[in-house]
Every structure is written in structure tokens, then in C-alpha cells.
């Protein structure tokens, strides 16, 4: 597996000997947005939410994706903003004294989509939007994806008045606000590994919900690996019949289509990874012949990476990739290429003979494999590979995107960018470092790191984004939501908002502003209200359900 | 809070460059017991479980606790052993070929309790039992608590035949087995902190279930602390009215009685902790007068520990303790005494004046408080204090039990034992070290550590047990089960089985036998089947639900 041991130990936020206050360690903000918008002006004056009258009015273009998004967020605002006692609320609204900041009720949001909807989210999609909460509230974007991001922001502006223990007097408010917003990085992803432990469809869909609450836009589905093969192929059913943990632990074609549709509705791309030629042991239950027999002292001791010299290997990959690319409409395909057990290739007499006769080193053999495998993908594919493929000097087209995950990432990124590749960053965002908490994931801005050593922003802009990686060794269906959220929220804010907050963080030792601690508390409770079993972000506290 | 930063970083069990097998990293054992019994002889020959005929027959003494335990374990064996298709099972039983190890069906367990039941579990209770699974299976103990432990063991011996993907042919077996078993330590606890985050009753009861599956026998309820006061007092309702996070986040008298009863049925004692004079900030919402005003440069900056010079303090404690000890029948009471902010006492002009006039140091003031507070408990109480109270040389009766939680624990334990106190150990068992996994908790045997430096087993035997501590800063109702289990299972096995396995582990660097990795896999899946959301112990794998 791609394990990178972050040695940042969780620094206790315990009470120490200083004066402790009762209640939450970081009292949550009220109606603050995560990830932070690029430009935001918020007044003290507020509107009251009127659940029985509120509606969203479509002014411009319309389409099913937009209708679905409006329904979703209308439901969320009405039912998931923490206001339990709607009837009480309504009745008491008239009785509560109105202060000078009260601007009246908010009954409508006008949604103005100025260009026709696109069918699928894609790498270059426009996610920018303008939101104005005032007596006539409007949300405007040239793209349905921008409208979706804006609706998320709008839904996050609502907050309950008054403090705890006074629930009966609470009312839902939204301050007069102007927001101009867009993401700093195009590729904002979450990798989920469903091979080391099987993750249920129900949790995958919840994961997509949570991604949309954090404006992440790429679901990188590391669907199969050494340990199990849950992808249920129609062309090769034996792969999962013999490679899945259990017959109940598979993803069918219908499951995959459901994930793609669900993600599309939320402006999320789904990029599958079939990690070859290493990380393929589970393929060998059904197709041992495409793997390499590893030798120790002239004896076969097990099966290793795919055999790069056999036609059968490429034939299987060609037919399987063809099916996979029909089921996953995104042009991006992650073909892996990491952690190939070159020692196994070296140990195999036939491969040694092959390397000798073709005058190839073992890394050149890896190169040969990738050169053969990549063209098996559809012509218009955009290919992503783990950094080893670049490091081992496999000839790659400049279009290939390199996924950086190892240490020494700054020099690695500079080398990759200088060679003319775009890249995706993950090195400091491995969520399987169980002792790391969200502040450990919050500081790193990959473009900033490259700019700091090169002073070349054009070069830095070759970093198209990054991904938080939830490798599955230590997470299963029961704890995966809490392991990912809110830790991945830190990555989501960095990728959306980058360093525009006027507080450039350059290392893990920079102090995160108190406001961020308070805002992630609100955001975590918000996710919990919406059904995401997020874990406590930073210390003692509570969420009203 | 009592945070002790274990610096053991989770050592990745990733695949590395060695040959990877598909499937679970550690294939689970079948019908092996956790914690390991003291003596066990297991044959290859097996009996088939017969769900429609199986019954437990009581030969000796009987009582409600015994009836409840038999009902509970009959249900678990029949319904939580992983056998889904009972009808299929029944039908196919006759058709499966019988091998030479087949001994027939198991229809009955005879339970022979040779002495009358006790009413409540207690420190000196007898938990030993003898279990014989043969053509006439018997479980014998002089104590109902021993029978409960033996029923747990019996329920763990059952396992499904055959491998995965052949569910329809599986049958429930139990091998012919002889077990003589007893715990090495009397006090085997789990501390749960319900102040930093509120934990629901439903999860507290599940926690007690899980404790019984691990033969833990002390639920140390760290019920209130600085952050919130969920204990709903009848005598002082304002404490939780003003000190709980929310009016819904309290434990009523009925809740507490339910916990005590539920625990009693499982042979678990419930020891409440009211941690004084520090860790009391939430008391001050209702009773600011019993806390000390902390000063900085002649200005009050907040409230600190209890004020040890005021009668009001002791009056409140006396009346509250009286109520608490009525609701919690166990003689043990944990009075805390850790992490007192002596700086606050030093800063307060009145207390400075008091110390001057009485010629007291600030630690002597802490001593004065403890000397006044401890006698407020019932006469026959057994008092537990955190180690600071001993370290600060507060005069304590020899009966007082010291709870060791800090670093340098070996010399600390030797000092405490030499001074004639009994002690409870927790230093290496802090479950709030999020990066630590069960192997980090598995190695430490406190008696072994003391014996290794003193060669004095009488001294070492003054260690009466230990507790895994789940401090609540980073856990709430959503993730607490997975944080505790199976990590606390490592502590449970150490405390029950100690070093009798013929493999004395002396440090974290000792290799844990493969058998333990496999056995905790089975145990984790067993807990999951019984409704405990345990997390994956050691790497890739799966449980059939």
C-alpha cells in the first residue's frame, strides 16, 4: 500500500495548568462557511428564515441537475439547520422582540444560471459563483457546478440565534452577506480504498454527500488492490467471484452507475484506479497466469506483480479497461504504477532471461509495462500515475499527470513541473496516519511550497490540485466516516481557499488562527446534523443533534 | 485533563516490498478465547451445536443474576455466532459427511454453582471457573461471577466450519475442551470520561456489554469534569442544570441505577469518580463560591480549583458524596486529586494569607483539602486517588489506593508499594493516544515491571490491577466504541492472563506472537457480531456480519 508515515504526532490540546472554562474548548462560529470563500462581506444585520414560505426561484437556465440540487438544499436548509421545534419557532417568531439588526424574513433565493447546464463535471469545469443575501437574494453563475457550490455556501450561512439551553427561543437567521467565490485548485479530491476493507454503498454515497459539503470535486476510487477485488466485471466475473472478500462484498455495474450519477448531481467527478502492475495480487485468484511467479533460491514462493512479458496480461487489461471506461464516464483514469516489487521480477528466471536478451534493466521493464498498458486506455483518456512511474524515468507523454505521495515532495514537485508535467499532491494528506489530526493536514499549500523555492508562479500553477488519501488498512465501514471527517475538511479548505486568507501558512508550526478552530467546530456539527458521523475536531464540546 | 502523550507511533503494517497474499492480513482463529485462559486443553475432535435442542441446565445454586446470564449467553450462542441460515444449517447437517473428528451434537451445558450467589460484584469476588466441553459439558464455579466468566468463555469456543464463500455449508462447532481459568489481577477496569463529550446511555450499556466480552470487571465512570457536569443530582439539581452541556445531556438517578444493575448482571463493578479539588470548573456554574478565584496582576481572571478554606466547599461535597454513594453501591470511590492548579491557589490573596498564617505550602494546602474531603465519604469506603495526591505527600491511610498514570511509572510504583499502598496502573494504557494501536497496549504487565527491578513478588502483588483510560477530548458518542475496542482488549488480556502464556513480554519491542494477531481478529469480529462497533485491529480484512 501507499503508506507514508507522517511523523507528526497529535499534539495534545489538553487543558494543562491554565484556566479552564466550562463548555466546549472552541465555541463554534455561527453561519460561517467552510471552506472559506475568496471574498465575503458579512453584515451584522440579519434576515429570519421563513420555512413555510421559503422557495428557490430559477431565473435563468434550468436542468435536472439544477432541480435536484435545489431540492436537496431546500431540504437541508429547512430540516438540517438544527431547528427542531418548527411549530414553536413559528409561533414564537412574532413574540420575540425585534432588535435593530432585524431586516425581515427571507422568503426566496433567486438562482440565475446564465449558461446551459453541462452533462458531467470535468477537470476544467467552472465552479465560480456570486451570492448576495439581501432583501432580494440572488445566486449567479455561468455554470451549474458554480450554482451547486453556491447553494452549499448559502445553506451554511444559516445559524440558530441564542445560546444553548434556550432551544425554545431559537430562530434560524442568515446575515446580509455578499460573496464572490471560486476554487484555487481545479482538482480537489478524496481517495477511498475499498480493497483493504470493503466499504458499503451506503457509506460511499454518504462520503459523496460529505465531499459536497466540503466542495471537494473528485472521488478517486481506489477500488481494487492486492487484498480484494470488489469490482464485479461483466466481462470477467471470475475476478470478483474469486477475488472479493465475500460474494456480498462487491460493486456491481448498477452500484457503480449509481455512484457516478450521485456524484454528478453534486458536481463530483469519479476517477477509478486500477493500480497496475503492482498491487494486483487479488487479480491472481482468477488469473494467476498474468502475475509473475516470485522465486527464492530456485523455488516459487508466491505471486508478485503482473508479468510484463505476457500477451495475456495486456489482453486482460485491454478488455477490462474498455469495460471500466464505459462505466466511468470521466476522461481521467488512474493507472497506479506505484510500489512495484521489482525484486520479484528480478527473481523470476524467465523475466531475467527476457531482460538479458532485450538488454533491459528492471526499471526499464517497468517502463515497458507502462508503455504497453497506457495505450490500452481510450484515446482521449487523461492518465494519472503515482510518482514512481516518473521517478523511474518511464517515458511518458507530457499530458500524463503525476501523483506525488512520497517524502521530499518539494524537490519532487519542482522536478516534475520542470519536466513539463501537471501534478496532483497528496504527500502530507494521508489520512491513514491515525495520530494526525486536522491541523496536521491544514497547513500545506503545494503551490506555495513550490513558489517559495522557485519564485515561479507559472511553474507552481502546474499543480492542478491534490487529494486526501484514505487508505483502508485500518478503516472499515464502521469507522471510515469519522476517520475522514473532519480531517479531510482541512485539505478541502486548503484546496479551495489556498492562501487567500491573508495568512500564509508555510509549515506545520505556523499557528492556525482561532477563527479556524471555531469554524471547523461549526462545520463538524453541521456535517453531523446532515448525517455524517464526523469525529470531534479539537477537544471537548458537543453538538445539538 | 489527564493526558499522557504516548510517543509510540503507529508502526505501519503495510505490505512493503514483500510478497502479499490476498485476503485478510491475519486470518482469524476459530473458536479461540480472548482473554487467553490460564489453562486450556483443546482437542481436534468437535461437537456440532444443535440450536433447537440446546439448553443450559442448572445443577447447583440459582439466582436471578445466573438466570439472566444463562439467557444472555444462550441467545448469543444461538444468534450471534455468525450462523445466518439456521434452517439451511439444520437441513444440511444430516447431509454433510461426518469426519473422524465428529463427536456428535452438543445439546446441553450443565452449570454447577456450588455456593450461593452474591448480591453485588466486589473487589475480592471469585471469578475462577472450570469448564469441560465433552459429551457431558459442565461449567463449575463457587461464585456466580465465575460462572459468568465461564459462560463468556463457553460462548467464544463456538466457531463456523469451512471457509468463506461457502456459507451454505457452514455449521457451528465446538471442540472438546478443558479449561481451568481465573484472573491474575482483581481490578480490571475501563475508565470512561463523560464530561469532555457526553456519551449516551445506549453506548454506556454497550460499553458494559463489550467489557463483559473481555472479562473486564470495573467500570470507572469519570462522570464529571471541568467541561460539563452531566450527573443530575436530586439534592443539587442546579449542578447539571447549569453545568451540563445541554438539558438532554444528563444522567438521571434512574440512568445511574440502570447502569449499576446492568453492570452487576455482568459481574462489573461501577466506581464513580468525582475529581476534586481540580477538574471542577463545571461545578462553578451553579456554585462559583466553592471555587477559587484565580488572579493575574491583582485582577480576577477566572475560576480555578475548589477553595480548600471554605466550609461551603466541604458542605457541598459532604451532601453530594452522600447522595452519590447511595446511588453507587460499590465501596470504592475515586476522589481524583490530580492536576490541581496550584498556581491559581498561589495567586489568590485570601489563600496566600491563609497559607501564611497557617504556615502551609501550597502542596500542604492540597493535603489539607484531601484530609478534609476523604472523611466526607462513608466510613467503609475504599478511596482511590490519582498519584499526585501521594506524590505531594498528602497524609493518606495505608488503605488508600493510588492510581498511577504518569511517566516514570516503574520507580513510582516501587515507591508507592514500598510505602505500603495498593495501586492501580494506567500509565501505558491511555486510549486517547490516537496514534497508538492495540499492540502498544499489549506488552505492559505492571507486576512484571516491578518484579524485574525488585525481585519481590510480594511487593509486586500490591498492584491490584489496572485500567484502560478513555479520556473524552477526542471521542464522542459516534466514535467512542471504535476508539475503545479492540484496543482495550489488549489491556483486558494482560490483566486477566498476565504472563502465564509462557511468553513474557517486557517491552513494546518484544514481538507479539502471530497467534495473538489472529486471535484478536476473531475476537474483533465476534464483538462486531454482538453489536460492538470495534475497529479493525491490525490491517486488511473483513468480518462476515
E strands present in A60-216: 102-106, 108-113, 129-133, 137-141, 159-160, 172-181, 187-193
CA distance A466 to B371: 59
Write out the H or E segment, with its range, that includes residue A498: none
Grid coordinates given for A120: 458531467
Residue B28 has pLDDT above 90, yes or no: yes
Sign of CA dihedral A452, A456, A462, A465: positive
**CB contacts, 8 Å: A5 with chain B:** 9, 12
Grid coordinates given for B133: 466441553
Judged on CB neighbours under 10 Å (0-12, 13-18, 19+), A545 is: exposed
**CB contacts, 8 Å: A339 with chain B:** 15, 17
**Residue B526: per-residue pLDDT:** 98
pLDDT range class, residue B164, cuts 50, 70, 90: very low
Does the beta carbon of B535 lie under 8 angstroms from any beta carbon of chain A? yes
Beta bridge partners of B174: B47
Does the beta carbon of B58 lie under 8 angstroms from any beta carbon of chain A? no
Inter-chain Cβ pairs, chain A and chain B, closer than 8 A: 189
CA distance B149 to A105: 63
Does the beta carbon of A428 lie under 8 angstroms from any beta carbon of chain B? no
Q: Per the CB < 8 Å rule, is A1 touching B13?
A: no
Judged on CB neighbours under 10 Å (0-12, 13-18, 19+), B298 is: exposed
- Quick one: which of B259, B218, B275 has its CA closest to B1? B275
Write out the H or E segment, with its range, that includes residue A270: strand A269-276
In the numeric block, the cell 489527564 is attached to B2
pLDDT range class, residue B99, cuts 50, 70, 90: confident
Residue from A40, A241, A323, A339 carrying the catalytic annotation? A339
**Residue B8: per-residue pLDDT:** 34
Residue B379 has pLDDT above 90, yes or no: yes
Specify the length of chain B in residues: 545
**Residue B14: per-residue pLDDT:** 35
Does the beta carbon of B542 lie under 8 angstroms from any beta carbon of chain A? yes
Does the beta carbon of A542 lie under 8 angstroms from any beta carbon of chain B? yes
Q: How far is B109 from chain A (nearest CA, A)?
A: 34
- Quick one: which of B524, B545, B502, B529 has its CA closest to B29? B524
| Under 8 Å between Cβ of B4 and B406 | yes
Q: How far is A101 from chain B (nearest CA, A)?
A: 28
User: What is the ipTM score, two decimals?
Assistant: 0.92
pLDDT range class, residue A153, cuts 50, 70, 90: very high
DSSP code for A251: B
**Per-residue pLDDT averaged across B216-221, rounded?**
98
CA distance B459 to B534: 36
**Strand A137-141 relative to strand A382-386, pairing:** unpaired
CA distances from B134 to A388, B128, B176 (A): 58, 20, 5
Residue from B118, B339, B341, B473 carrying the catalytic annotation? B339
The number of C-alpha atoms within 13 Å of B273 and in the hemisphere containing its C-beta is 31
CA distance B34 to A213: 42
Q: Per the CB < 8 Å rule, is B226 touching A341?
A: no
**Residue B167: per-residue pLDDT:** 47
**Residue B20: per-residue pLDDT:** 81
**Per-residue pLDDT averaged across A174-203, rounded?**
98
What percent of chain B is predicted at pLDDT more than 70? Answer: 92
- Quick one: which of A477, A67, A347 has its CA closest to B536? A477
CA distance A287 to A276: 14
**Residue B161: per-residue pLDDT:** 86
Q: Per the CB < 8 Å rule, is A479 touching B20?
A: no
Cis peptide before B486 (omega within 30 of 0): yes
B119 is catalytic: no
pTM of the model: 0.94
DSSP code for B536: P
Does the beta carbon of B433 lie under 8 angstroms from any beta carbon of chain A? yes
Q: Per the CB < 8 Å rule, is B535 touching A7?
A: no
CA A451, A455, A461 angle in degrees (round to 5)?
A: 50
Grid coordinates given for A384: 494519472
| Under 8 Å between Cβ of A334 and A220 | yes
Amino acid at each position: 500500500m501507499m503508506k507514508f508515515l507522517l511523523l507528526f504526532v497529535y499534539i495534545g490540546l489538553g487543558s494543562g495548568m491554565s484556566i479552564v472554562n466550562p463548555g466546549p474548548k472552541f465555541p463554534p462560529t455561527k453561519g460561517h462557511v467552510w471552506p472559506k470563500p475568496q471574498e465575503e462581506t458579512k453584515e451584522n444585520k440579519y434576515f429570519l428564515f421563513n420555512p413555510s414560505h421559503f422557495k428557490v426561484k430559477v431565473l435563468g437556465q434550468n436542468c435536472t441537475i439544477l432541480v435536484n440540487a435545489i431540492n436537496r438544499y431546500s431540504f437541508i436548509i429547512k430540516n438540517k439547520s438544527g431547528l427542531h421545534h418548527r411549530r414553536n419557532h413559528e409561533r414564537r417568531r412574532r413574540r420575540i422582540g425585534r432588535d435593530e439588526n432585524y431586516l425581515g424574513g427571507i422568503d426566496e433565493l433567486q438562482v440565475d444560471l446564465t449558461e446551459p447546464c453541462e452533462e458531467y463535471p470535468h477537470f476544467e469545469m467552472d465552479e465560480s459563483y456570486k451570492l448576495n443575501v439581501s432583501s432580494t437574494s440572488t445566486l449567479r453563475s455561468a455554470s451549474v457546478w458554480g450554482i451547486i457550490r453556491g447553494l452549499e455556501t448559502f445553506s451554511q450561512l444559516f445559524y440558530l440565534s441564542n445560546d444553548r439551553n434556550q432551544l425554545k427561543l431559537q430562530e434560524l437567521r442568515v446575515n446580509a452577506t455578499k460573496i464572490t467565490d471560486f476554487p484555487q485548485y481545479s482538482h480537489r479530491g478524496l481517495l477511498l480504498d475499498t480493497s483493504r476493507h470493503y466499504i458499503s454503498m451506503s457509506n460511499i454515497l454518504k462520503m459523496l454527500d460529505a465531499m459536497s459539503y466540503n466542495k471537494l470535486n473528485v472521488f478517486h476510487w481506489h477500488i481494487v488492490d492486492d487484498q480484494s477485488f470488489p469490482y464485479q466485471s461483466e466481462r470477467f466475473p471470475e475476478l470478483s467471484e474469486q477475488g472479493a472478500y465475500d460474494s456480498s462484498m462487491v460493486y456491481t455495474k448498477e452500484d457503480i452507475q449509481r455512484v457516478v450519477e450521485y456524484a454528478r448531481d453534486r458536481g463530483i467527478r469519479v476517477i477509478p484506479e486500477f493500480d497496475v502492475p503492482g498491487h494486483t495480487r487479488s487479480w491472481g485468484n482468477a488469473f494467476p497466469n498474468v502475475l509473475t511467479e516470485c522465486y527464492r533460491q530456485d523455488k516459487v514462493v508466491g505471486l508478485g506483480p503482473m508479468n510484463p512479458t505476457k500477451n495475456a496480461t495486456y489482453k486482460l487489461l485491454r478488455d477490462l479497461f474498455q469495460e471500466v471506461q464505459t462505466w466511468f464516464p470521466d476522461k481521467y483514469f488512474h493507472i497506479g504504477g506505484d510500489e512495484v516489487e521489482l525484486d520479484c521480477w528480478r527473481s523470476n528466471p524467465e523475466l531475467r532471461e527476457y531482460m538479458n536478451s532485450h538488454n533491459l534493466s528492471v526499471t526499464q521493464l517497468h517502463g515497458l509495462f507502462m508503455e504497453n498498458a497506457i495505450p490500452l486506455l481510450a484515446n482521449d483518456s487523461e492518465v494519472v500515475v503515482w510518482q514512481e512511474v516518473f521517478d523511474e524515468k518511464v517515458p511518458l507523454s507530457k499530458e500524463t499527470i503525476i501523483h506525488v505521495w512520497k517524502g521530499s515532495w518539494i524537490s519532487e514537485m519542482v522536478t516534475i513541473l520542470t519536466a513539463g508535467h501537471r501534478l496532483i499532491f497528496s504527500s502530507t494528506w494521508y489520512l491513514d496516519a491515525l495520530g494526525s489530526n486536522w491541523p496536521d493536514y491544514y497547513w500545506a499549500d503545494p503551490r506555495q511550497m513550490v513558489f517559495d523555492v522557485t519564485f515561479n508562479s507559472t511553474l507552481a500553477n502546474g499543480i492542478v490540485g491534490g487529494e486526501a488519501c484514505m487508505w483502508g488498512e485500518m478503516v472499515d465501514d464502521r469507522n471510515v466516516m469519522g476517520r475522514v471527517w473532519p480531517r479531510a475538511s482541512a485539505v478541502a479548505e486548503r484546496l479551495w481557499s489556498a492562501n487567500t486568507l491573508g495568512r500564509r501558512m508555510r509549515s506545520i508550526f505556523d499557528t492556525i488562527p482561532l477563527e479556524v478552530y471555531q469554524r471547523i467546530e461549526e462545520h463538524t456539527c453541521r456535517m453531523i446534523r446532515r448525517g455524517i458521523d464526523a469525529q470531534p475536531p479539537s477537544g471537548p464540546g458537543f453538538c445539538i443533534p
